[in-house]
Each structure stands twice: as structure tokens, then as C-alpha cells.
Amino acid sequence: MAALGPGGRCAPTLPLLLGLAALALPPSLAAASEPPPAALRAGHAASSLPAAAAASRTRYLLYDVNPPEGFNLRRDVYVRIASLLKTLRKSENWVLVLPPWGRLYHWQSADILQVRIAWSEFFDIPSLNKNIPVIEYEQFLAESGGPFIEQVYVLQGYAEGWKEGTWEEKIDEKPCIDQLMYSRDKHGYYRGWFWGYEETRGLNASCLSVQGSASIVAPILLKNTSAQSVMLDRAENLLHDHYGGKDYWNTRRSMVFAKHLRVVGDKFRKKYLQSTDEADRTQYKEDWTQMNVKTGTALGGPYLGVHLRRRDFVWGHREDVPSLQGAVKKIHSLLESLKLERVFVATDAVEEEIELLKKLLPEMVRFEPSLEELKLYKDGGLAVIDQWICAHARYFIGTSVSTFSFRIHEEREILGFDPKTTYNRFCGETEKNCEQPAHWKIVY
């Protein structure tokens, strides 16, 4: 994440910035010409507010993730932040502001603008709202009165690291270990990436050393700051409150793919893979709260689903990632044993590897978008379509420690597939102990 320099948009004049800053404050403050009451100044607890004022105002939680992290790890961080929001809402009226998508490492399609992308491009917002209250960033700008975030907390570890022994959850405001990826402009406001919204400013920024689950941040947000809008940067440093529990699965189930992407995937399944929900026993309810499918009831379409991660995994996970020839050998073995004739492959392989796969694996079917489709769905939408198709296969095999494969595991668990058809991965040719993925059983 690089701090934005003065080369962005022309900086607004100081009077305009001050005016927008006033709009970003609660209405009672924006209307006042004198300094705010002491109870509302930074550093004062929300609990010092009169009860009626504390109950009536909405507070906004924003977050971001380390820039190199991909689409599917970011989806996992959302689950962690949702758990924090639920904790906050036990005390105050908090709303989660969804961080716009963009500038991800794996989104490498040329000549396509992939920044400031709303969550509605990939996910169904009403479904998310059945779990926790969420709004898009553009809505936050409209509701808060301007492009200002009152408090930015950058989450980091402890300088001394984690000492072996008893695990201790803790959080402290500490000096920033690394250089703060925000720079102060001539007006004293903090400028940074802010999801590509270069007009956004932070009013205050500091670092929190954290070691623990997401809700450990709640006391800081409830008692140490009265800021109406708070952003947690580097939110991946927070752990799950209860990984694999009911709260985890409620949030995960609420992350329903956008319907237009599911429709594209369903049409592709029907046309090229002879796969329909009726025949595959994968009936899907639009209201995720009404879905409670018994494990093992889903059959899946008459094809093998494969996620074959390449690129950085080839050199980053050499031992447990097979060669293309090794992967094809395993695929042919599965096709024969499962008596299937088609294999759908989701992969980030480079063009030369794709051409080799076509020669070695004539049974292969892939979703290959036109330029118009690519511009419409973007790289994130194509990932969703690939995952949706893999999630409906008779049998799925993925790549070791890949979050792309993990998310497919979860989709198949939601749809009711037998775990034996889901939690499988390729093995490296030289791998001595090819441990298969753990089964995280869905909890209702």
C-alpha cells in the first residue's frame, strides 16, 4: 500500500476541507460554530455521552487488508470483521462499511479498470444485511456528509513478537513498528490508498498492537474513541472469534454470490456440462436463512470440478503442487474411477500452460469470457463464476492451502455435498505425506 502523493486530484482549499469536515461530524456538531463538548472530543469514551445521544447516532466501522492479499483471503477477513461488528452492536448502533474492491495482485487482465468496485458486483447485499447491517462505501460518503474518516487504526503485531508459552489475547496503542502508509497533507489530514478514493482523508491515524481474535478491538472502539467513523487497516491481523462455529457459518452463508453471476454460471453448466439444479439435487434458496440442507443429499453435475492453482504457487509451494503432467494424470484417474467424461478446470495458469492443458486434457471445459464479458464481470466476477461451477461438480479436487479452493469447500458444504466429494487436493510428485484438507462441518 503506497501513500498517495500530491499527484492525485487537486487538493480542495482549506475552507472547503474544513466545511466538509464539519459535515462529517454528528449533526449536532456540524451545526455548532463553537468547539464540540468535551465528551465528544477524541479520546473521550462514547459511554460519557448522554444515553439518548449515544443510542441515536450511527457509528461506522470501515476496514482494509494488506494490499498483496487476494480476493478469497479478503472474504475470510470479512467474516472476522462481521463477528466484531456483532459484538459492537450489543452496546451501540454500528454499521459495517464494505471496503471497495480493486488493485488486487491476481486481477491482471489488461485494459480493464478494476478499482472502486462495489460489493454488489460480486455479492448479494440484501443477503449480507440479513446477518449484519452493511452499506457500500458510496452510501457511507452520502450518509456521513463527506470523504472523511475520523479515526484510522493500523493494526500490527507486537515489536517483541509472540513469546512461546501461554497464549494471551491483548491489544495496546503502540508506536507504529513500520512506516505509516499514510502521509499528512499540508492541511494536516492523512492521505492514503483508501480503496482508490483519493479524495478521502483521515482526521487521525495511530497504530494498535494486537494479538487475538476480532472482538478484542471492541473495548477500544467503545471506550477509547468517540469517533463516529473508525477504520481498521491491516484487519487480517485479527483472528476469528469462533472459527467454524454457528456465528462463523451464519456470516459465511450470508455471503451469497450476486445473482447475475450465479445465472451466468448456471447457464454455462446447463449448456456445456449437462448440469441443472433439479438433476443435480442442488436446489438453491435465495434466502440463505431458509437453507438447511442435509449433508450428502447433493449429487452434483456429471463432471469433475478442478481448481489448479499455478503462477506464484508453482515456486511458493513446490512440494505440494503437482506439475501439469502430474495433475493431468490424477484428473484422468478420477474421471475413470468416477465414470465421468468432462472436467471443468478453474486455473490461473499462463497462456502457454493453458495450451499444454488443452493438448494433454481434451476433456477439459473452461469458462472463457469474451472481452465484453470480461469488462462486465471483471476478474473478481470470473473467479465467482468459476467457483460456482466447481461447487456444483459431482466431485471436486483443489490445490493445497489455496483460499480459492477453501471457498469452494464452503460452497459445497452449504449445498449439502458428501465431504468425500469435496475435501480433496492434488499432491506434489515429491510430497511424502499428502494430507487432505480438513472437513469443517457446517453448523446451523
Catalytic residues: 69
Q: How far apart are CA 369 and CA 390, in angstroms?
A: 16
User: Which residues have C-beta within 8 Å of that of residue 303, sequence separation ≥ 6?
Assistant: 273, 275, 340, 341, 342, 343, 344, 365, 393, 394
Q: Do 227 and 150 contact (CB within 8 A), yes or no? A: yes
Task: Tell me the HSE value of 147 on the side-chain side, using a 13 A CA sphere.
Answer: 18
SS3 assignment, position 400: coil
Q: How far apart are CA 409 and CA 415, in angstroms?
A: 10
Per DSSP, 123 falls in state B
Retrieve residue 276's grid coordinates. Answer: 441443472
Instruction: Provide the terminal-to-terminal Cα distance of the chain, rounded to the nearest Å.
Output: 38
Q: How far apart are CA 40 and CA 23, in angstroms?
A: 15
Backbone angles phi, psi at 381, to 5 degrees: -65, -35
User: Which residues have C-beta within 8 Å of that of residue 21, sequence separation ≥ 6?
Assistant: 146, 148, 203
Q: Which residues pair with 171 in a beta bridge?
A: 210
Strand pairing report for 170-174 and 148-149: unpaired
Q: How far apart are CA 273 and CA 66, in angstroms?
A: 38
Q: What is the residue type of 263?
A: V
Retrieve residue 397's grid coordinates. Answer: 479436487
